[in-house]
Amino acid sequence: MKRTEDFIIEYIGDLFSSPFIGDDCAVIDNRIITKDIFIMGTHFPEELPLYYAGWRSFAGALSDIAAMGGKPEYFFIGIAGESGEVIKELVKGVSELARIYGVELAGGDTVFSMLAVLSFTIVGKAEKPIMRRGARPGDYVYVTGDLGGSRAGLELFLSGERATEKFIKPLPRIKEGIELVEKYNITSMIDISDGLLRDAERISRINGVSINLAGEAIPINQDAMYYCKERGLHPVVFSVNSGEEYELLFTSPDDIKEDYVTRIGEVGEGVGINLDNKPVSPEGFEHFREGK
């Protein structure tokens, strides 16, 4: 799904020849703006209670603001649903998260559709917006929080078990993004929406650098660890391919010590992602598996 998105974004970029395409937000004057669309069946399972669908979707959009080190100020919402009740439930999840983060609704658009769709535009402020471009060889690679919890939660939910908090109520790293930018020299940043490997690949490609990760350093979510152990899955392989984590992946030459940050690798010459010195790709991952 997302691979094709990269292709189409390239196509759209060509068609419009826009310099903006490719970052989490566009920067217009001192404002950062992001737009995101979420569709039932594609971005969240049909069985997920609509309250959580609203929450998760808005969290995903807010996470793009976090990825620039920005503070969300206003948001616009477009909601489609098959009834007023559906729309109301979706809105409830959104409004709770809006209250937590102090984001003000600036406009709304609702339509009826058999398929639930949520679309957000968020306007934020960033004194010094951090882009995906900027990582340099020698920088360290860091990640906030831990990984794998979102995927474990989704799989547990789909199998009828209790989903994890991280899956049903993810909290975007707004506060952390702002703090990191204030305290350290952050050279590039992205939020993990498509999995650590895929998002690291984006940083690698746009900067023409390699991202060299240490498997044992990657912080694994406790629920994911338990889930993998029960099923005989490799927790690192599982977690670096877990999407919609909404953690921040960033690079910095600084030695960062914060309780919510883990150093997981270094930026190097060349292009590509290496895990324990072996090239890996988000799709196949064969080399790593074979080596274990």
9 versus 271: smaller Cβ distance to its own copies: 9
Nearer to its own copies, 32 or 236 (CB): 32
The verdict on 21 binding its own copies (CB under 8 A) reads yes
Please, which residue, 76 or 260, has the CB nearer to its own copies? Answer: 76
Can you tell me whether residue 67 is helix, strand or coil?
A: coil
CB of 7 to its own copies, least distance (A): 7
DSSP H helical ranges for the chain: 2-16, 50-66, 84-101, 149-158, 165-168, 174-183, 196-207, 222-231, 235-240, 286-291
Q: Is 77 in the site for its own copies (CB under 8 A)?
A: yes
CB nearer its own copies, residue 164 or residue 193: 193
> Residue 243 and residue 194: Cα distance in Å, rounded?
4
* Residue with smaller CB distance to its own copies, 94 or 237: 94
Q: Which DSSP helix (H) or strand (E) runs through 27? A: strand 26-28
Helix (H) or strand (E) holding 259: none
**Minimum Å distance from CB 10 to its own copies?**
10
- 272-275 and 278-280 beta bridge pairing: antiparallel
Is 5 among the residues that bind its own copies (CB under 8 A)?
yes
CA atoms within 13 A on the CB side of 164: 22
Interaction site with its own copies (CB under 8 A): 1, 4-5, 7-9, 11-13, 15-16, 18, 20-21, 23, 25-26, 28, 31, 33-39, 41-43, 73-74, 76-80, 84, 87-88, 91-92, 95, 98, 104-115, 117, 119, 121, 123
